[in-house]
Amino acid sequence: MRTRSLLGLGAAALGGLAAYDLTQRHHAVLRNYPVVGHARYLMERFGPELRQYVVASNDEERPFTRDQRRWVYASSKLENAYVGFGTDNDVERTVGYPIVKHRTFGVGPGTHPHSEEGVPLPGLKVLGGPRGRRHAFTPASVVNISGMSFGSLSHAAVEALDEGAARAGAWHNTGEGGLSPYHRRGADLVFQIGTAYFGCRDAQGRFDLDRLVDLVASAPVRAIEIKLSQGAKPGLGGLLPGAKVTPEIAEIRGIEVGKDCASPSRHTAFSDVDSMLDLVETIADATGLPVGIKSAVGNLDFWEELVAQMSAGDRGVDFVNVDGGEGGTGAAPLIFSDAVAYPFRIGFAEVRRRFDAAGLSDDLTFIGAGKLGIPENAVVAFALGADLVNVGREAMLALGCIQAQKCHTDRCPVGVATQDPRFVRGLDVPLKAERVANYLVSLRRDLLKVAEAVGVDHPARITVDDVDIVDGVTERRSLREVYGYVD
């Protein structure tokens, strides 16, 4: 009798917990996995203690280490993102570890923002200014949201990214899947043109300039990005697995429901640097917007040719967005993700050095992506010459991504990278928008604080001489030496 009533009590408690989990809005995992989802929070809470006895360190997980994820989660919730006791990185033995060199004296007293305070941190260059584009502008934020399509991400994720970006004054790149209603929640947009020309294609799937002009006029599009390739799968077109092709996405893209949607691996609107620059100028003339390219870096002939043709001065891209081979994707073959295209630092340096040597670097804006939403990586990117950084997966972490790495299966447990309404319901748009905004503001604050430690007033003023790459405790070389930058 007593056992039965105890069991009854237990069942009632579990029922109550399940009801609470299903209706609360703070945690997508609990909304989607009532009761059992608490195991995740228990592991997160007691993981550090357990790991001292059982498994790996805070720095072993990939793509993002536990420390990096913890920093994004805490920043996005405006919780305490500090660490205690000192670094647990194996600085003494790690090869290729970046060290930022602070200065004893610097500019002014500094801004002293605390953890919950934001700082405006606009770019230093006018995007499209040097080429006289009609709608040239200064980006309001040095950190912006990288292209990730509606399709690979859920509508709720896209909405939250858009609202979060709007609150933080950042722009939101549409990704190659077209401009959906969920991109119209207030943020400035960069419209991405992929090889399938979603949003700006004719009935035969060819690029259609008139459609592009109409589309960008209908939304707050500030710039246009022609996607040549993406670090996680360069040389392959985008792939949206059939499971994610819902009727709505099929409608927006003009494709068949439920069938794999593979974009061509190369553009049909141009076939070499010469015709690409012609198209860039055509689009810039027709829209008045700055036009740039996004690309991973592999064979360097393309960049040599681009620099050579831009040196003539009559045609040119307004920005170059270099995506590192370590970049993310919704779905890609393993070999492409693991082994095609240089990692960001090598690829970006190769590109930037070529523009520097031709004296062209002031004529365009350099953007980078590839784990640059983590402060130390972003600092190195700025030191190498990036003017702005884009963040993709780190913003997904702020949305609640737990790095389950199931984005390609349509079974994302937290409703970020799925079209399945069962999972999408867990993602509360207003709450996650706030977290995205908090994360962007926190990252900008950390970047400014590091810049001030280095003695300058903006992260883009950190130079290749301000960061060393150290090998354990025996060797150090500046970024300038490692990546071959000249004065």
Ligand X SMILES: Cc1cc2nc3c(=O)[nH]c(=O)nc-3n(C[C@H](O)[C@H](O)[C@H](O)COP(=O)(O)O)c2cc1C
- 357 exposure class (CB count in 10 Å sphere: 0-12, 13-18, 19+): exposed
Residue of 75, 146, 295, 442 that binds ligand X (CB under 6 A): 146
Q: Which lies closer to ligand X via its Cβ, residue 29 or residue 193?
A: 193
Asked if residue 375 binds ligand X (CB under 6 A), the reply is no
Residue 148 contact, options ligand X, ligand SF4, none, Cβ 5-8 Å cut-off depending on partner type: ligand X
Residue of 230, 361, 418, 438 that binds ligand X (CB under 6 A): 230
Residue 143 contact, options ligand SF4, ligand X, none, Cβ 5-8 Å cut-off depending on partner type: none
The packing angle between helices 429-454 and 66-76, to 10°, is 110
The CA distances from residue 110 to 4, 105, 276, 439, in Å, are 66, 11, 44, 21
Task: Find the distance separating the first CA and the last CA of the chain, reported in whole Å.
Answer: 85
Residue 406 contact, options ligand SF4, ligand X, none, Cβ 5-8 Å cut-off depending on partner type: ligand SF4
Asked if residue 407 binds ligand X (CB under 6 A), the reply is yes
Segment lying near ligand X (by CB under 6 A), choices 7-15, 244-252, 268-276, 387-395: 387-395
Q: Which lies closer to ligand SF4 via its Cβ, residue 139 or residue 177?
A: 177
Q: Which lies closer to ligand X via its Cβ, residue 146 or residue 419?
A: 146
d(CA 140, CA 73): 24
Nearest to 65 by CA among 377, 440, 345, 471: 377
Q: Which two tokens stand for residue 118?
A: 């934001």
Q: Which lies closer to ligand X via its Cβ, residue 191 or residue 303?
A: 191
Residues interacting with ligand SF4, by CB under 6 A? 396, 401-407, 412-414, 416-417
Task: Please work out the total of residues on this chain that contact ligand X, with binding judged by CB under 6 A.
Answer: 31
Phi and psi at 93, nearest 5°, equal -120, -5
Q: Which two tokens stand for residue 86?
A: 């000192």
d(CA 320, CA 318): 7
CB of 184 to ligand X, least distance (A): 17
- 364 exposure class (CB count in 10 Å sphere: 0-12, 13-18, 19+): buried
d(CA 325, CA 239): 17
Residue 160 contact, options ligand SF4, ligand X, none, Cβ 5-8 Å cut-off depending on partner type: none
Q: Tokens 């933080």 correspond to what residue?
A: 168
Asked if residue 316 binds ligand X (CB under 6 A), the reply is no
Q: Which two tokens stand for residue 381?
A: 């990117």
CB of 443 to ligand X, least distance (A): 11
Q: How many helices (H) and strands (E) does the chain have?
A: 16, 13
Residue of 169, 234, 290, 327 that binds ligand X (CB under 6 A): 327
Segment lying near ligand X (by CB under 6 A), choices 19-27, 171-179, 215-223, 278-286: 171-179
Asked if residue 227 binds ligand X (CB under 6 A), the reply is yes
Q: Identify the bridge partners of residue 127 per DSSP, sorted by sequence position.
A: 137
Asked if residue 371 binds ligand X (CB under 6 A), the reply is yes
- 281 exposure class (CB count in 10 Å sphere: 0-12, 13-18, 19+): middle
CB of 255 to ligand SF4, least distance (A): 22
CB of 350 to ligand X, least distance (A): 17
Q: By CB under 6 A, name the binding residues for ligand X.
A: 146-149, 152-153, 175-177, 192, 227, 230-231, 238, 294, 323, 327-330, 369-373, 391-394, 407, 417
